[in-house]
Amino acid sequence: MAFQIRIRGQVQGVGFRPFIWQLAQRFGIEGDVRNDAEGVLIRCVCVDDGFLNAIRAETPQLARIDAVEVSEIDAALGKGFTIAQSGAKGAETRVTPDAATCPDCVTEIRSAGRRHGYAFTNCTHCGPRFTILKQLPYDRAQTSMATFDMCDDCAAEYGNPADRRFHAQPIACPACGPHVLIEPAAVDPIADAARRLLDGQIIAIKGLGGFHLCCDATNPDAIAELRRRKHRPTKPLALMGPIDVIETYARISDSARELISDPAAPIVLLNKAAPLPDGLAPGQTQLGWMLPYTPLHHLILDAIQRPLVMTSGNLSGEPQVIGNDEAREKLGQFADAFVMHNRDIQRRLDDSVERADPPMVLRRARGRVPGTFPLPPGFEQSKPIIAYGGQMKSAICLTKNGQALLGHHMGDLDDLLCGIEFEKAVADYSALFDHSPAFAAVDAHAGYRSTQFAQTQSVEQIEVWHHHAHMAACMGENLWPLDGGKVVGLIMDGTGLGPDGTLWGGEILLGDYRGFDHMGGLSPAPLAGGDMAAREPWRNAMVRLDQAGLSDWADNLFPNAPRDILRHAVAKGLNAPMSSSAGRLFDAVAAVLGICPMGQSFEGEAAMRLEALIDPAEKHGYAFRVSNRQIDPAPIWQQINDDLRADTSREKIAARFHLGLAKVFAAQARDLVQSGQAQAIALSGGCFQNAALLQMVCNALDDLPVLIHRRIPANDGGLAFGQAMIAAAKTI
């Protein structure tokens, strides 16, 4: 008799087999270890408790163990301990996300040796994973590295279990691996790229999941030129720099330092410290920073010795560019030069965007995907589900074997190419993870492209209401049990279709995974001009002021706007659907304060600028009118008008609006919990990515159980996860 130890989780491509080999030498274990469709399989002559304990306690940095299962087997095992060939293909295990260059590899590219200055240095602790993977199991032949034959030196490292590069699938060196090139051609691509950046030029640089457009972040003229070429007037630009540079320009807490140093290397929002050009993020108090996460980034930053803008290389609204020819075609109008390489990118992954204080994921992408989430208690017998998400911030979700895989951010499906990428991603994830869904979860809005695509698939569909999905996403992330009782959902976002046929966006729900009742929320107002209301904040201000009997004030605020035409359309009900959107209420307040009233250049700009204004010392909130949990903002407008006439600062007005909104919603939720109708409160929807609003609502509910998002986006990027939870609950 012998024993089999099955390790499930994120255990391939992380150095797990050499880790087991080293433990076996230490504990005198005889047998073998291999990768297979379900994870890592160890066969051994005997099982030592110290060996099992060490597997969990000393796990490699990038590994995540879900289960360690021990059973007896009938097998004849040889002497010693070996690493065997991978088993059958399949996808019952987790795939490791891409990981930032580890300290050992950074030291190596800066030191004498055969990898000095080599832009593709990696080991089992770092480097590309998901972006080069074609199919499972994770072996070199299944990746973009298959075309690069290892030299003798790399092969020796690859085959040595004591080496940190043992079975590191992307292993390479200048003699056998990918190489960097620059166009126009130069002898030293890194030095030439640095020279161009210091001269104020814009460079397209190929990273892990796609191209970035890059310029000197200290050069206001270069920043302005990048914005002009890309037609991106105000949307914040992401920055990259080493930690000492980031500390110079940003205030970084201990939690933010830990997050930005994570192997996922996300963009982290940090408060400004030393000044950088205002053009990086007009009207904002924070900048998005990330550390260099490839050797190429490290080498360029070493050469330039200053922070760099690193914004997605794409045409406005389109997916990020990943191929060299594609970059030449699409980014030629933006870039003065291209820093490229000859290793193919298998899938487009934008940079993840996160916040440390409070912790939240705003965009889930490179470094986080395809990590999985456990399903809550009660979902153990749930059938495989595919959930297609919404129209905006598209992402899909697959459930299988008690885990949920929330896919990467793919943009807005209004764009044709994003829609094509969405369809490719469905096929890609389904094939890669060997997923055969029993049911498909879709948004109830028939006009969403994701819903329409689902209708072309031969899987039974379950319609899910938009805001119920937001609530379920928050519940599921917090492992709220299937039969854990009812929860109050405070859901604030832009818009989503409600069962009454109107566009919701500021709702109070009471329910669980299986269903909900609508208990109240913001009183509705017409979206004057339909989708234009989301782009021109003055429209929302005008209709709300008209409702409050303050039309004269609207006339004074927006004298050059086509008010009469719009009011006529609203009165006739022409392209003016009713909506209780909290997002549009934020736009209205911003417009009244003169914040981009006639147009915002990106979604959420007005609300973000309004949040940035907040005076943290202000304790007074505006009073809303409440009747049967219907929250009417009409009274706040006169209060704002009075404050403006009294020369109250915009900072205090912004704070008072946020505080008033937080307190009135929190009061309704508190009543439902204290009356015994609910056991907890879930906060979800894109407005809860506003850190100030989130904190204010949590402060108002500080003695009650509150569920918030931390690892799944509160915005529509988390919608598919909530849809999957609801579909699973209804079909168990």
Low-confidence ranges of the chain (pLDDT < 70): 87-94
Query: Which residue among the candidates 35, 219, 314, 324 is catalytic per the annotation?
Result: 35
* 232 catalytic per annotation: no
Report which of 91, 109, 90, 96 is spatially closest to residue 168, judged by C-alpha positions: 96
Measure the CA–CA gap between 724 and 398, rounded to whole angstroms. Answer: 7
Is residue 35 part of the annotated active site? The answer reads yes
Give the Cβ contact number of residue 722 at 10 Å. Answer: 30
Question: Catalytic pick from 6, 8, 17, 94?
Answer: 17
Find the Cα–Cα–Cα–Cα dihedral 363, 266, 590, 253, rounded to 10°.
140
- CATH of the domain spanning 180-354: 3.90.870.40
pLDDT of amino acid 84: 85
pLDDT per residue over 357-408, tens digit each?
999 999 999 999 998 999 999 999 999 999 999 999 999 999 998 999 999 9
Confidence (pTM): 0.94
Residue 678 to residues 512, 695, 722, 728, Cα–Cα distance (Å): 10, 21, 19, 22
Question: Per-residue DSSP letters for 491-531?
Answer: EEEEEEE-TTSSEEEEEEEEE-SS-EEEEEEEPPEE-TTTT
What CATH number belongs to 2-83? Answer: 3.30.70.100
- Write down the architecture of domain 522-707 according to CATH: 2-Layer Sandwich (3.30)
Beta carbons of 90 and 433 less than 8 angstroms apart: no
| DSSP one-letter string for 554-603 | HHHH-TTS-HHHHHHHHHHTSS--EE--HHHHHHHHHHHTTSSTT--SST
Q: For tokens 């200053």, what's the residue?
A: 306
Spatial separation of the C-alpha atoms in residues 26 and 606, rounded to whole Å: 60
> Where in the chain do CATH 3.30.420.40 domains reside?
522-707
- State yes or no: cis peptide before 358, omega within 30 of 0: yes
pLDDT at 87: 65
Which residues belong to CATH 3.30.420.360 in the chain? 371-466
pLDDT of residue 90: 53
Three-state DSSP class for residue 159: coil
Q: What is the CATH number of domain 371-466?
A: 3.30.420.360
CA 72/CA 56 separation, integer angstroms: 20
Q: Give CATH 3.30.70.100 domain extents, the chain.
A: 2-83
Is residue 528 within 8 Å of residue 543, measured between CB atoms? yes
- Contact, 269 vs 357, CB < 8 A? no
> According to CATH, where is 3.90.870.40 located in the chain?
180-354
